[in-house]
Structure 1
Amino acid sequence: MSMNKQGCPICGFSDVVALDELNCTTFEICECCGSESGVEYDQHSTPEHLKKIRREWFIENGCKWWGDKKFIPENWDPKKQMEIASIGIPQ
């Protein structure tokens, strides 16, 4: 299974470039969940690994916005964001 290059593979936030055109990590940090491409995940991360990180953000951290609060998108809904990105919501 290959990871999408655009969008955070952890939370689905679309304003992240997870992998570059050569399929290498960008070291970009997601403003939404705080996951960093090349640190928390890379092009070789398994779906199980991504689910583990996602569960930590979603359940253990309560989907808290990681970055500057003034940049939270209007009407931001983490569940809807994940649904749009076709990312399963952790149980």
Structure 2
Amino acid sequence: MSKYICAVCGYNELNYPQWDKHGFPTHEICNCCGFESGFDDDAKDIPESIEEYRIRWLSEGANWFSSSKTKPLNWNLAIQLKRINVDISK
């Protein structure tokens, strides 16, 4: 089964794409940052863009979201973010 990359944090173990081929959200939740397509980016009260969600998640400490899927032992946030062309070393 293919794995997919989170548009927010670059985590590459999503089971499904966050949006289908027609651009509709699949409501896939990222184990790393917790972003849910079709919910966080389309919230009724306060929708956030992918970039806004990323900035908030990083500013709050980039905490691992999932309580059922443990963070990989060799997890490296900087390398993960580079998968989506985000460089936090600057």
TM-score by length of 2: 0.72
Which residue in 1 is equivalent to 2:18? 18
Which residue in 1 is equivalent to 2:45? none
Residue segments in structure 2 that go unaligned for 5+ positions in a row: 43-47
Q: Would the alpha carbon gap of residues 24 and 88 (structure 1) be closer, same or farther in structure 2, given more than 3 Å must change? A: farther
Q: Which moved more, 1:23-32 or 1:67-76?
A: 67-76
Could you list the structure 1 runs, at least 4 aligned residues long, displaced by more than 4 angstroms after superposition: none
**2:76 counterpart of 1:77:** yes
1:57 partner letter: W
What's the Cα RMSD here?
2.5
Q: How many residues align?
A: 80
Fraction of identical pairs, as percent: 33
**Which structure has the bigger radius of gyration?**
2
Which residue in 2 is equivalent to 1:33? 33
Residue segments in structure 1 that go unaligned for 5+ positions in a row: 1-5, 43-47
Which residue in 1 is equivalent to 2:61? 62
Question: As a proportion of its length, which structure holds more helix?
Answer: 1
